[in-house]
Amino acid sequence: MAEKILLIIHETPDGDTLAAATVLSKVLKKMGKSPAMVCKDLIPKPFLFLPEVSEIHHDLLFGDYDLLAVIDCGDIKRTGFADRLKKFSKTKSKTIINIDHHPKNDLHKIAHLNLVDYEASSTSEIVYELCQKMNADLDKNLATALLTGIYTDTGGFKHSNTSDKTLRIAGELLRSGGKIKTITENISLNKTVPALKLWGLALKRMHRHPKLGIVSSVITREDLTNCGATDDDLAGVVNLINTVPDAKAAILFHETQDKKIRASLRTESDSVDVSRLANIFGGGGHKRAAGFTIDGYLKTTDNVWQIVLN
Ligand code: 5GP
Ligand code: MN
């Protein structure tokens, strides 16, 4: 088995990619390996309680490793290191493993092994089963971490990707000492005044398209500054917007630090697949949750918001 292992966490990391990677890292260490983790972007504050996150690098040379495990990435672009990954895939005696629950994508073409389950609620659910197969001992911190990945990707067990298997695994993680309270305290029940002001702004600006039935809202960099909020405070806004009962889909557009617009898409409708819309704009995701990023900024005239492409 490979000795030099690199775990790749996707850009704009969420609870699932972070939990799955950090738990794998810890388990591999217990097996005597010395894995490294890399993520292009900074780790959002709510996830800093996860084990090993302080050991995540933001830039690494891939040539130093003989096995890459790509975790929860959906597609090559989302690794944040597309060129390095493609180069690595062409190098002899190097191996790529794709561990994911996203629909089939370009990663399948370069991976030597695809540990992919579209039915899994989260990559953390897949990693749990992998840990079982490897007879890995999950202590209470690792159990809490995997539970975090499952919790965040199921929207706190509210989405339809929550299967009986998901709940059985969640139960087993609780039995291993996993703590729901640690997760809610860090992630869903810790809204600061600036964060709630920002949420208020996003709610006030909600618009429902009369024909398409899509509800949407926008948040600019200026809004973040005015509220004293950070990018992390936006997590969850789109899910709240998505609670409008008969909406076809919900979209939150927000300006990013690197002068782009990030769109987060959600739907509760069985007849809508938001990943198809995200695909058109170079993004992707799942049927009910997807996203994409475009070059541009947000502009308002007479209370009408526009996306201006760069
Ligand atoms: P979020 O709106 O929370 O950022 O993303 C929702 C889901 O959409 C993610 O869990 C991920 O599966 C998917 N997603 C978001 N952005 C992208 C993207 O740029 N590319 C791909 N392939 N998937 C994305
Ligand atoms: Mn995921």
Per residue in 282-305, pLDDT (tens digit) is 999 999 999 999 999 999 999 899
Binning pLDDT at 50, 70 and 90, where does residue 75 land?
very high
Q: Can you name the CATH fold of 193-309? A: Diaminopimelate Epimerase; Chain A, domain 1 (3.10.310)
The ligand minimizing its distance to the Cα of 124 is 2
pLDDT of residue 1: 63
Q: What is the mean pLDDT of residues 11-27?
A: 97
Is it the case that residue 281 has pLDDT exceeding 80?
A: yes
Q: Cα separation of 37 and 5, whole Å?
A: 9
The ligand minimizing its distance to the Cα of 256 is 1
Is it the case that residue 44 has pLDDT exceeding 80?
A: yes
Q: What is the mean pLDDT of residues 178-194?
A: 96
pLDDT of residue 223: 98
C-alpha 101 – ligand 2 centre gap (Å): 7
Q: What is the β-pairing status of strands 5-9 and 36-39?
A: parallel
Binning pLDDT at 50, 70 and 90, where does residue 141 land?
very high
The ligand minimizing its distance to the Cα of 100 is 2
Q: What is the mean pLDDT of residues 160-177?
A: 97
Closest by Cα among 110, 281, 303 to 206 = 303
C-alpha 15 – ligand 2 centre gap (Å): 8
Q: What is the pTM of this model?
A: 0.94
Pocket lining: 289 vs ligand 1, CB cutoff 6 Å: yes
Q: What is the mean pLDDT of residues 95-117?
A: 94
| Domain ranges for the chain | 4-186, 193-309
CB-side exposure of 51: number of CA atoms within 13 Å?
20
Pocket lining: 292 vs ligand 1, CB cutoff 6 Å: yes
Express as a percent the part of the chain with pLDDT over 70: 100
C-alpha 13 – ligand 1 centre gap (Å): 10
Pocket lining: 284 vs ligand 1, CB cutoff 6 Å: yes
Q: What is the mean pLDDT of residues 22-44?
A: 96
**Token pair listed for 252:** 């939150």
Pocket lining: 290 vs ligand 1, CB cutoff 6 Å: yes
Domain 4-186 maps to which CATH number in 3.30.70.890, 3.40.50.450, 3.40.50.1820, 3.90.1640.10?
Answer: 3.90.1640.10
Binning pLDDT at 50, 70 and 90, where does residue 29 land?
very high
Pocket lining: 277 vs ligand 1, CB cutoff 6 Å: no
